[in-house]
Amino acid sequence: MIINTWFGVLELGSNGKLSASELFPKDVRELALRSLSLRDSRQNLPPEGFDLKTAAIECGFADSSSEYYSLLHEVTLETVKLQVSQALTPDQRIVQAVEALDDINETTNSLSERLFEWYGGYFPESGLNGESLAVFVAKYGSRENIPPEDPLYLKAQNSMGAKLEAADELLLKSFAESVCSLYERRKQIEAYIESSMETLAPNLTALAGPMLGARLISIAGSLEKLAAFPSSTIQVIGANKALFKHLRARAPSPKHGIIYSHPLINTSPWWVRGKVARALAAKLSLAARIDFYSAKKEPSLEGELEEKIRKIREANPRPPQKRQESRAKPKKKRRR
Amino acid sequence: MTEIRLLSEGIFEVTKDKKQLSTLNLDPGKVVYGEKLISVEGAEYRTWDPRRSKLGAMVLKKFDIPLKRDSKVLYLGAASGTTVSHVSDIVSEGVVYSVEFAPRSMRDFIGLASRRKNIFPILADAGKPDSYAHIVEPVDIIFQDVAQPNQAEIAARNAVRFLKKDGYLLLSIKARSIDTAASPKEIFKEEVKKLEQAFEKGFEILTARDLMPYHEDHLGVLAKLKA
């Protein structure tokens, strides 16, 4: 019987004793690479309960337990290092980008609100907020610097706002600049996600749009996991709270999770949204699978989806009539 | 005044201000996850937070911990190595084969594993023991904390392949990862039954206790192979 081990190929006689061996050179890197390929091949496995260490000493690979263990320590360490460095796949980069985008959104919102409050004391009539206010403050600072050709000139002249001292102006200006640069980063990340989604998952991007597609991948953890999800899961991704409330107690099931942001759903009348969400989720899961396993563009998907949605809308032109009071019999309460 | 009481081989209760579960630090001066170091007469103890470790909780719930100084351990679900570091302290002359599936956790674990010579890190799926059969030798103890729905099956597969005849299985079962809606008590009953019939030989359950108040909805199990 031939068996593969991390230190060499061994041959066992019919009595289970070692009869021949071909040992690998004691090179950590090479042993690690071999160990990786053995991990995937899973052929000629040692029999259950086989004592690798004793065999290694018997066949002369190691002189002692401590030598065996210290080499094994280095080899396993090198192996996992190789594996970890291979783990950063393109979809993982998208996941990171999506999470960075969420962080940036949160920060920019609270910072630009702060700027609005702060600068509002000096020029409350500006009517600006968000990015336009940040750009404005970064450009002019005090309202006294607004040139006559600017549409806000008159308002600035007659403003009831306080006078902006030089020190405060400097502070506000640089604060506004930081906010501006965050807005720029946001655009940059969005552009990055759009272009990488186009190559990583063309079908998912075509159906869901780059941002929704990227979010689905991000919540699933990877494109592989998303492709493995049933479409009923994709339909409610992001509606965790509602879903678990439904599973544990007598709450209605959620109709849609983050796919609600898809225009097909949020522009549909409310009584078909559940149906549309189901149809969309079905196609999204198909798209994710095509993307993960073949990465080829499948042009028929979009048409099929549109056709399906059209049928749903045609079949349900009016909101359903309120049903007679026939309460469903109470479900058995499971927990809490 | 510092008082030291031996709870099990390599596991201590150090009383300094308050009682604290501890192990002897194998890597003196180094802190792994923000725990405290207490030096007593030249020996350095590392405190062990039972709220962050199922094994630590099992010690305090009076489980008979079978770990010895020279034990060989197969640790399934190493995560970033919080508990593994204490196991490595306890089996100072033994070895810990530590299996973890997530590359992200492994990234944090590598630093720890490289400083402690008795840890062998393995990035693999604990449900597929064949993928590390070319590395792992027969072990005295399998510790499993994987939070997977098929925990019993995973334990069985690994036990068949790697557990010595007189070896032990230490297992933590998380009710939430098996069924989020059902009652934990029922799940525990089912899982224990599964373990007893998991494979041809089956496990003999020695102790099964919940890990309250340290971990909610977790069951700790100590088992050995049926004779």
What residue ranges do the domains of chain B occupy? 3-47, 54-225
Instruction: Please provide the distance, in angstroms rounded to a whole number, between the alpha carbons at the two ends of chain A.
Output: 57
Return the higher-pLDDT residue of B192 and A323. Answer: B192
Contact A35 B135 (CB under 8 A): yes
Region A306-318: mean pLDDT is 90
User: Is the pLDDT score of A205 beyond 90?
Assistant: yes
Region B180-207: mean pLDDT is 86
- DSSP state for residue B25 in the 8-state scheme: -
- DSSP state for residue B165 in the 8-state scheme: E
pLDDT at residue A333, rounded to an integer: 55
pLDDT at residue A41, rounded to an integer: 82
Residues 6+ apart with CB under 8 A from B38: B2, B14, B16, B20, B22, B44, B45, B46, B47
How close A50 comes to chain B (CA, Å)?
7
How close A69 comes to chain B (CA, Å)?
8
Q: How confident is the model at residue B9 (pLDDT cuts 50, 70, 90)?
A: very high
Q: ipTM of this model?
A: 0.92
User: Is the pLDDT score of B158 beyond 60?
Assistant: yes
- Return d(Cα A256, Cα A214) in angstroms, integer: 17
Contact A72 B182 (CB under 8 A): no
Q: Give residue B212's identity as a one-letter amino acid code.
A: M
- Return d(Cα B74, Cα B98) in angstroms, integer: 6
pLDDT at residue A326, rounded to an integer: 55
Q: Does domain A90-195 have CATH number 1.10.287.4070?
A: yes
Identify the CATH number of the domain defined by range B3-47.
3.30.200.20
**Chains A & B: contacts with CB separation below 8 Å:** 86
The phi and psi torsions of A253 (rounded to 5 degrees) equal: -75, 145
pLDDT at residue B180, rounded to an integer: 80
- Interface probe, candidates B135, B158, B176, B179, chain A, greatest A C-beta count within 10 A: B135
pLDDT at residue B61, rounded to an integer: 94
Region A311-329: mean pLDDT is 76
- Return d(Cα B45, Cα A68) in angstroms, integer: 29
Which token pair is A79? 């192996």
Sign of CA dihedral A182, A185, A187, A193: negative
Please state, rounded to an integer, the average pLDDT across all residues of chain A.
90
CA A89 to chain centre: 12
Contact B130 A45 (CB under 8 A): yes
Percent helix, strand, coil in chain A (nearest 5)?
65, 5, 30
CATH class of this structure's domain A201-315: mainly alpha
User: Is the pLDDT score of A233 beyond 90?
Assistant: yes
pLDDT at residue B196, rounded to an integer: 87
DSSP A13-56: -TTS-EEEEEEPPS-HHHHHHHHHHHHHH--SPPPTT--HHHHH
Q: Using a CB-CB distance cutoff of 8 angstroms, which residues of chain B are in contact with residue A53? A: 137
Residue of B nearest to A48 (CA): B161
| Sheet containing B72-76: order of strands | B119-123, B95-100, B72-76, B139-144, B163-174, B218-225, B203-210
pLDDT at residue A330, rounded to an integer: 55
Contact A84 B138 (CB under 8 A): no
The phi and psi torsions of B75 (rounded to 5 degrees) equal: -105, 115
pLDDT at residue B41, rounded to an integer: 87
Per-residue pLDDT tens over the stretch A124-134: 888 888 999 99
Identify the CATH number of the domain defined by range A2-86.
3.30.420.220
pLDDT at residue B2, rounded to an integer: 83
The CA–CA distances, whole Å, from B70 to A20, A302, B42, B115, B167 equal: 31, 63, 22, 19, 13
Q: Which helix (H) or strand (E) holds B172?
A: strand B163-174
Residues 6+ apart with CB under 8 A from A122: A142, A143, A159, A161, A162, A163, A164, A172
Instruction: Flag whether residue A53 sits within 8 Å of chain B, measured between CB atoms.
Output: yes
β-strands B95-100, A18-23 pairing: unpaired
What residue ranges do the domains of chain A occupy? 2-86, 90-195, 201-315
Region A207-229: mean pLDDT is 93
Per-residue pLDDT tens over the stretch A150-163: 888 888 888 888 88
Which token pair is B206? 């020695």
Q: Using a CB-CB distance cutoff of 8 angstroms, which residues of chain A are in contact with residue B117? A: 69-70, 73
CATH fold of B54-225 = Rossmann fold (3.40.50)
Region B27-41: mean pLDDT is 92
The CA–CA distances, whole Å, from B148 to A231, B30, B103, B162, B173 equal: 22, 32, 17, 20, 9
The whole model's pTM is what? Answer: 0.80
Region A240-253: mean pLDDT is 87
| pLDDT above 70: percentage of residues in chain B | 100
User: Is the pLDDT score of A325 beyond 70?
Assistant: no
β-strands B37-40, B72-76 pairing: unpaired
Q: Which stretches does DSSP call E strand in chain A? A: 2-4, 8-12, 18-23
Longest dimension (CA), chain B: 53
Interface of A with B in 145-184 (CB under 8 A): none
Region A114-131: mean pLDDT is 91
Interface of B with A in 161-200 (CB under 8 A): 161-162, 164, 180-183
Residues 6+ apart with CB under 8 A from A34: A6, A24
CB A152 within 8 A of CB A124: no
pLDDT at residue A251, rounded to an integer: 87
Q: Using a CB-CB distance cutoff of 8 angstroms, which residues of chain B are in contact with residue A34? A: none
SS3 B169: strand
CB A12 within 8 A of CB A19: yes
Region A307-332: mean pLDDT is 76
